[in-house]
Copies of this chain bind each other. A is one copy, B any other.
């Protein structure tokens, strides 16, 4: 079968290769993969700046969609023909994770999904919402679950004000979920065109942070002086201070990304004065994934796929995530 391998640090070391088709052991299923989606994690890992303890060659990418082609002994959770999704952290079932569950990710250090076939423990996959295409489904494991987990941890209630920074994968999912849950959603972006697309997805207020760099003050004003209940922070260094200024007392800041850098000059007094709650977030357990899927199915929600690359264009998919110009998710269809 074909696989893509990362044979060493550096995007140039992503190579198409051949491996033997695996057999499902007891408790496992064999999945014919059909699509995958790209995450920022995949990029920095391939560039060599994200140490997961992986060795080479590594099959990259954690987020995939496929069809069950065979089942091992004792498997009852899936049947042949079922459409399934992978999980970046397959061993995290519910509640808070152990360090071992956090560490055992696919797409690094374990082999990922950019392959013709994978085998996986039946407990480590979830059913795909039935109305989704393969490439839509493949966008869910990291971006969808992280957004859902954030809003759940912060106990989003109808009528709450939510600030979503930018229009990357997690941000767009957060917008779509918060809108359907009855929240008022403010989206920030440097592009009026992207803001207009966000409006069509349910954003109630838009802020172009290029023309309004003090976007935190704009949020305070929009919310009648009190601030937002929830801010999804994707910028880290560049945004955290304003995120803390934009929330109301007791508000939640979700730490999702570090696009702006790893180390933040963090003014403690702001967090204390606002009795802020700051949540470090990185996917969630299977329980969260399945609950989100139930909602997606009930709402017939469609994930936003910016571009779909063919299997042989996988390098272009890495370039696309690196460009940072996407709106929603980037996918590869096999």
Interface residues of A (CB under 8 A from B): 94-99, 101-102, 153, 157-160, 179-184, 225-227, 236-237, 240, 248-251, 255-256, 258, 262-282, 290-295, 297-299
Please, could you name 16 A-B residue pairs with CB atoms under 8 Å apart, sorted by A? A94-B95, A97-B250, A98-B249, A99-B248, A101-B249, A160-B294, A236-B268, A256-B272, A262-B268, A264-B266, A265-B266, A268-B280, A272-B281, A276-B280, A277-B277, A278-B280
Q: Which of B263, B275, B280 is in CB contact (< 8 Å) with A277?
A: B280
| Complex Cα gap A262–B241 (Å) | 13
Name A287's closest neighbour in chain B (CB-CB). Answer: B95
- Write out the residue numbers on chain B whose beta carbons fall within 8 Å of the beta carbon of A262: 267-269
Q: Which of B96, B157, B271 is in CB contact (< 8 Å) with A291?
A: B157
| Complex Cα gap A299–B180 (Å) | 7
Interchain CB contact under 8 A, A158 and B292: yes
**Which residue, of A159, A179, A276, has the highest number of chain B Cβ atoms within 10 A?**
A159
Interchain CB contact under 8 A, B265 and A275: no
| Complex Cα gap A282–B276 (Å) | 10
Interchain CB contact under 8 A, B258 and A269: yes
- Write out the residue numbers on chain B whose beta carbons fall within 8 Å of the beta carbon of A236: 268
- Write out the residue numbers on chain B whose beta carbons fall within 8 Å of the beta carbon of A99: 225-227, 248-249
Interchain CB contact under 8 A, A278 and B277: yes
Interchain CB contact under 8 A, A250 and B96: yes
Interchain CB contact under 8 A, A265 and B268: no
Interchain CB contact under 8 A, B249 and A158: no
Interchain CB contact under 8 A, B290 and A280: no
| Complex Cα gap A59–B97 (Å) | 38
Apart from A278-B278, A278-B279, 19 more pairs, CB < 8 Å: A96-B248, A97-B275, A98-B249, A99-B227, A99-B248, A102-B275, A157-B291, A158-B295, A159-B291, A180-B182, A181-B181, A183-B298, A263-B268, A272-B280, A273-B280, A274-B280, A275-B281, A275-B282, A277-B280
- Nearest Cβ on chain B to A327's Cβ, whole angstroms: 23
Interchain CB contact under 8 A, B268 and A258: yes
- Write out the residue numbers on chain B whose beta carbons fall within 8 Å of the beta carbon of A248: 96, 98-99
